[in-house]
Each structure stands twice: as C-alpha cells, then as structure tokens.
Structure 1
Amino acid sequence: MKKWLIAIVSSMVLALAANAAIEVHEFDSLEQENQFKELNHTLRCPKCQNNTIGDSNAELAVDLRQKVYEMTKEGKSKDEIVDYMIARYGNFVTYNPPLTFATAILWVGPLFVVIFGFGLIVVRSRKNRVKQAEQAGSEWSEEKEAQLKALLDEKETGDKQ
C-alpha cells in the first residue's frame, strides 16, 4: 500500500510540473488568436537564433510571447507588433529582414569576394605565363643557337658513317 501511495504522489507532482510548462492564453476573438499564433511562428527568438518564439523555451522567448499576447489583447495590429519587436531587438527578430545597406553587404559581399579572387587568380596566372615566355626568350642566345647547330651537325655526320 505504501508503494502505491508513493507512486500516486509522484505522478501528481510530475503532472503539476508538466501543467506549469503549458501556457494558456485566452483571446476575445478568433482573429486575435490567429494573429498571436502567426506571430509566434514568424518572430525569431533573439537568443536561440533559429527558433521561433513559439518553438523556443528560453526565458526571453517566453517574455516575447507574453508581450505579443499583451499587445494582441490591446488590439494592436500585426505590423505594429512586428515594428515594436524590430525597434527593440533589431531586424534579426524577423525571418525576412528588409533590404538595407547592411543586409545587401551580407548578400553581395561573398559574391564579390569570389569574383575578386577568381579575377586575381586569372591575372596572376597570365602574368606568370608572360614572365615565363620572356625568360625563355631571353635565355635563348646566339651561343646556344651555335651549340644546337653543332650538335645537329655532329648527329647528321655520325648517322651517315
């Protein structure tokens, strides 16, 4: 009997802990509830980075969900809530940040680096080819030409004998 009592008390304690983790929000209308759910899935948690505030269990995400809930209950529109979050946490809080100079650098920068690097490789390889051609041309002198003719003459006379 004692074992059963301990099992029941343990399960009740675990049930209370699980119940405490569930957030319950009541809304005045279905539109408010839909707006809250949509914002929970479109705003990014600044701490977790790749989780939405609805998916994250971080304290900051819980606070953001509560703020979104309060603003939704106050009758604020989706754009007003998103603007508030951007003003407070920056463009990072949205998954689709607007195109600004800073975000343009993030998108164009790597492309520029690849093009610049490829161009640098092409220019250096062409310079090396020209340098090698010049060295080959400058190393060939009349003395070497005479040596080559002498070798060829020796070979021709050696073959005929």
Structure 2
Amino acid sequence: MRGFARIPALALALALAAPAFAVQPDEMLDDPALEARARALSKDVRCLVCRNENIDDSNAPLARDLRILLRERVVAGDSDAEVKDFLVARYGEFVLLRPRFGAHTAILWFGPLAALGLGLLMARGIMRRRAGPAAPETPEPEAPLSEEDRARLRELLGDGEEGGKGA
C-alpha cells in the first residue's frame, strides 16, 4: 500500500518537469544567471514550427537552433531587447509570442476591444427595436383655447344650435 502512495507523487513530479525536457543539457549555459536569463527570454520566443509554443517547451529542431542562437547572443553580452531585436530582424515580428505595440500590430491590440464595442452597440440597437417606440417622457402642456376656438368646437359638437352649455 505504501508503494502506491508514491506513484501519484512521481507522476506529479514528471508532469511538472515535462517542459524541462525540451532544453537539452548540451544547450545549457555554465553560468546559472545567464541560463536563467536565456530561459526567461526563450519563454517569449515562438517556435516557428509549433506556432503557439515557446522555444523553451518545443522539441522541434528549429526550436533547438533558436535556443542555441539565443544563448549565443546572451553570452555575447546582448541585452534582452537586443536579443529580441536580432530575432525579429531575422525571423520577423511573428517570432515573438507577445508582439510589440506598433502601427502594424495595433489591430492585434485594439481589434478585440473594437469588436466588443461594436457587438455591444449592435445588441443595444436590437434591444431598442424589440422594445418598440419609446413613449414620450412628459406630455406637452396644452395651450388654452381661445374664444374663437371654443365657438368652433361648440359648432362641431352641435352645442351651438341649442344655445346651452349643458345637455
């Protein structure tokens, strides 16, 4: 029974370590600080084969080449921004998992908000149409009838011939 209790712990440990299998030991840098920086950078770089996976988690040969190239740039003394600029210059903006804000990527940033706003406006319009015409908020006060209008009203109602106000 005691051996069975270790199986879930072992499975959990293997599941948590699974992404670490992509980076091979021969790729790792000797300096732990540089390796940590390279790992952090590679989390933001897209595997061009796997599409929505970073190069740190990908087992694709191209991802391996990108990891090695990234580590070469880190060892050469490039800053994080310089490493990303180098990769973007070589592979295009698509290589970044989080694209930078610019004129050519503005639709990626504002497109969802614009679509949401348009959807809300359309829903409001549909709800207004279904509700029907709106009732006037307050009726306008009627102007008092002039003596001429009262005489015409009595004539139309037939009260003028009888000469009396009440019937």
TM-score bracket, shorter-length normalisation:
0.5 to 0.7
Alignment of 1:70 onto 2:75: no
Contact 1:28 1:73 in 2 (8 A): no
Q: Return the alpha-carbon distance in structure 2 between the equivalents of residues 26 and 99 of structure 1.
A: 31
The residue aligned with 2:125 is: 120
The Cα offsets for residues 123-151 of structure 1, whole Å up to 9 and x where unpaired, read as: 43245899xxxxxxxxxxxxxxxxxxxxx
Q: Return the alpha-carbon distance in structure 1 between the equivalents of residues 61 and 133 of structure 2.
A: 60
| Structure 2 gap segments, 5+ residues each | 1-22, 136-167
> How many aligned positions are there?
110
Using the TM superposition, give the Cα deviation of residue 65 of structure 1 relative to its aligned residue in structure 2, in angstroms: 0.9
Contact 2:27 2:68 in 1 (8 A): no
Percent identical residues: 29
Against the structure 1 CA distance between its residues 128 and 39, is the aligned structure 2 distance closer, same or farther, given a 3 Å change threshold?
same
The amino acid that maps onto 1:41 is K
- TM-score w.r.t. the length of structure 1 is 0.53
The amino acid that maps onto 1:53 is I
The residue aligned with 1:94 is: 96
Cα-Cα RMSD: 2.9
Runs of 4+ residues over 4 Å off in structure 1: 126-130
The Cα offsets for residues 26-63 of structure 1, whole Å up to 9 and x where unpaired, read as: 64633322221222223222332321101112232122
- TM-score w.r.t. the length of structure 2 is 0.52
The residue aligned with 2:108 is: 103
The amino acid that maps onto 1:103 is L
The residue aligned with 1:18 is: none
Alignment of 1:34 onto 2:36: yes
Q: Return the alpha-carbon distance in structure 1 between the equivalents of residues 30 and 77 of structure 2.
A: 10
The amino acid that maps onto 1:120 is G
The residue aligned with 1:59 is: 61
Name the one with the larger helix percent.
1
Against the structure 1 CA distance between its residues 47 and 112, is the aligned structure 2 distance closer, same or farther, given a 3 Å change threshold?
farther
Against the structure 1 CA distance between its residues 42 and 109, is the aligned structure 2 distance closer, same or farther, given a 3 Å change threshold?
same
Q: Return the alpha-carbon distance in structure 1 between the equivalents of residues 99 and 114 of structure 2.
A: 17
Q: Which region of structure 1 is more displaced relative to structure 2, 70-79 or 81-90?
A: 81-90
The amino acid that maps onto 2:122 is G
The amino acid that maps onto 2:88 is I
Q: Return the alpha-carbon distance in structure 1 between the equivalents of residues 129 and 95 of structure 2.
A: 44
